[in-house]
Chains A and B, each alone.
Chain A
Amino acid sequence: MKIKNNDKAPKVSLDYFYQWWFKVILCVTFIFLYAPILVLIIFSFNDSRRNITWRGFTFKYYEKAALNDGLIDAFINSLTIGIFNTLGSLILGILTALLLWRFRFPFKAVYEGIILLPVVMPEICIGVALLVFFNQIGWANNLPWPLSLSKITFAHILFSFPFVAIIIRARLATFNLEQEEAAFDLGASPGQVFTNVFLPHIRPALIVSGLIAFTLSLDDFVITFFTSGPDTITVPIKIYSMVRFSVTPEVNAASTILLLITLCAAGIALWVHRAKISRIGKL
């Protein structure tokens, strides 16, 4: 005789994943998180100036955005800053990670706290502090491109490199020192050890943190706002001035392009890093 357990059997209550309230909250959250963005993207294709009802599909506003010189300049600036920021924060981040991983020194805990300051400090404080700083040291405002972007780039490196340091530091924690010693034992030079043993080990972390640094730079508004000169416009700043003006499909189109660039970068980073995502929470 076989008795099938029907639905009256008690569900084991520890699997919160299967509880109805989790599903409800999850749905609400996802709608809340994604619906506005999706609407924004969809209506960038809307053939209507007033941006309210669906009037048919069009690429018109992308063409318009592509012909907008100010916007193009802003994109070029943003990408340039993003690339320099990625390089700079990767270098500083690797150095910091090595320092924290390899050495003990007095006040190390305090030092680690200071490194995290650019991340936890409200952006507005860093923004105005840098505004005042560049103003006080009399940094020239009329440098030729790309030097005109240096202020913004320096500021971006400041808040990007701690992220790089944290991610690489976490990766280094899994590095087996014996590997390095074995390489020395086999007669390798320190340079060879660095390139043949060390770099390959941290490569995934390098990719992820580089992409994160890039998206952070591309997305930043507040600090850029305070460090940009009158002539250096980045995409967020451009969009900001457009938004203040009005809500038009052109803004949607420009936003969608920026959004796609960051989403691609972030998506790759998250996917590469998916096994270790839980660590991000420990920042």
Chain B
Amino acid sequence: MKNPIIKIEGITKKFGIKNALEEIDLSIYEGEFFAIVGPSGCGKTTLLRVLAGFEVPDSGLLFIDGENMRSIPPNRRPLNIVFQSYALFPHMTVLDNIAFGLKVTGVPIKECYQRVKMLLKLVKLSGLDHRFPHQLSGGQLQRVALARALVKRPKVLLLDEPLSALDAKLRNEMRQELVRLQKSMGITFILVTHDQQEALSTADRIAVMNNGRIKQVASPTNLYESPSNKFVAGFIGSINLIKCEVRQIEGELCAVTTGLTKDLFSIKGKNEISVGQSYLMGVRPEKIQLTKLTDIDQYDNKLAGIINNITYLGRSSMYHVKVSGDENIVMNVSMSHSDRSENIDLCIGESVLMHWTAGSALLLEDHDS
């Protein structure tokens, strides 16, 4: 694989007694579109600020392009940041805002404006050069902020929730714009977001953070299909979790009991599992099928239940099904309206059978590592 452009080794950052970052290890490679996701307050912004040099970590090392950043102040680091609030200079025009970073590093004025003009075209802002920030719309401000950082041709561009101030439609457009820009300029992007959808749809690789720790780093598909722990499984997409105990391991598959029914469920297991131990069985809502209760003998992994509630979501509906063995367990089942079979009646109070294939269930550690 390519060289890591950013290498983080054991970085810890405390605010008072609270650990904002704990022992972060991470490598990000050249030309990657890397996303960092996590719930609010998990330390994403802190991590970015450590990279940019605004926070000094309590311990740990940071290398950018092989160079130790410990004694390099923010204004001499080869990366730039796009702030959540844009932080455009209110007393400068769009042109001056974008040219600022070049002027202060001594690029000749002529070349400065050439590069700015080029970038304005790239972010589709030509013609707005002499406007002040207060004369621009949210989406335009966003583009100026991007252009201001990109014009410096940084090795890495950091984006802290850059799209959170935009409305849903504009956000979608800008997402694609970001991907286009990243691919065309070949700059490494690190995008911080708490919107998992945004991360899944843009990034090559994603790091999921919680409580100052990195929970998993993987490609979007891997993250969704084989999350390594309970937190990631629940944070990326939604998942139904049921306590279970491993009874038997047969090659790829293992058999577990749940205590809800006498049946064994088969799950594609992981390497290091041991018989007799408690785990969680996770099934994504869209992997579950609903059928009539009378079909019970046709399927392997199945649970009976009663539809408790239905949430209409447009293209699909979410069915909340109370499991027959335990009133407290409610399974969420997502079914699109098109592939709903006609022969069952899916309304509240109806008894149904939920079933899924062995390959679509996940075996997860019960405790949070």
Contacts and interface: CB of A to CB of B under 8 A. Distances in A.
B56 A10 contact: yes
B10 A5 contact: no
Contact of A5 (B59, B73, B74): B59
A5 B58 contact: yes
A13 B70 contact: no
A3 B59 contact: yes
Nearest to B72: A10
A1 interface: yes
Interface in B144-163: none
Contact of B71 (A1, A2, A9, A14): A9
Given A3-B10, A10-B56, A12-B54, 8 more contacts: A2-B59, A3-B9, A3-B60, A3-B61, A5-B57, A5-B58, A8-B70, A9-B70
Given A1-B10, A2-B10, A3-B10, A8 B71 contact: yes
A5 B10 CA distance: 12
Contacts, number: 36
Contacts of B220: none
A282 interface: no
Query: Contact residue range for chain B?
Result: 10 to 19
B55 interface: yes
B269 interface: no
B285 interface: no
SS class, residues of chain A in contact with chain B? loop
A12 B59 CA distance: 16
Interface string A1-24: 111110011111110000000000
Interface of A: 1-5, 8-14
Contacts of B56: 5, 9-12
Nearest to B73: A10
Contacts of A5: 56-59, 70
Contacts of B12: 2
Contacts of B54: 12, 14
Given A3-B60, A3-B61, A10 B55 contact: no
Q: Which 4 A-B pairs have the closest CB atoms?
A: A10-B73, A9-B56, A2-B59, A4-B59
Given A1-B10, A3-B10, A13 B58 contact: no
B212 interface: no
SS class, residues of chain B in contact with chain A? loop
B71 A10 contact: yes
Given A3-B59, A4-B59, A5-B70, A10 B10 contact: no
B133 interface: no
Nearest to A10: B73
B53 interface: yes
26 contacts: A2-B59, A2-B60, A3-B10, A3-B59, A4-B58, A5-B56, A5-B57, A5-B59, A5-B70, A8-B70, A8-B71, A9-B56, A9-B70, A10-B53, A10-B56, A10-B71, A10-B72, A10-B73, A12-B53, A12-B54, A12-B55, A12-B56, A12-B74, A13-B73, A13-B74, A14-B54
Contacts of B72: 10
Nearest to A4: B59
Contacts of B70: 5, 8-9
Interface of B: 9-10, 12, 53-61, 70-74
Nearest to B70: A9
Nearest to A12: B54
Nearest to B12: A2
Contacts of A1: 10
Contacts of A4: 58-59
B132 to A, nearest CB: 24
B12 to A, nearest CB: 8
A13 to B, nearest CB: 7
B58 to A, nearest CB: 7
Contacts of B9: 3
Contacts of A14: 54
Contacts of A10: 53, 56, 71-73
A13 B55 CA distance: 10
B20 to A, nearest CB: 15
Contacts of B53: 10, 12
B56 to A, nearest CB: 5
B51 to A, nearest CB: 13
B152 to A, nearest CB: 19
A23 B56 CA distance: 22
B59 to A, nearest CB: 5
A10 B74 CA distance: 9
A13 B59 CA distance: 19
A9 B73 CA distance: 9
Contacts of A8: 70-71
A10 to B, nearest CB: 4
Nearest to B56: A9
Nearest to A6: B70
B106 to A, nearest CB: 20
Contacts of A12: 53-56, 74
Nearest to B76: A10
B109 to A, nearest CB: 27
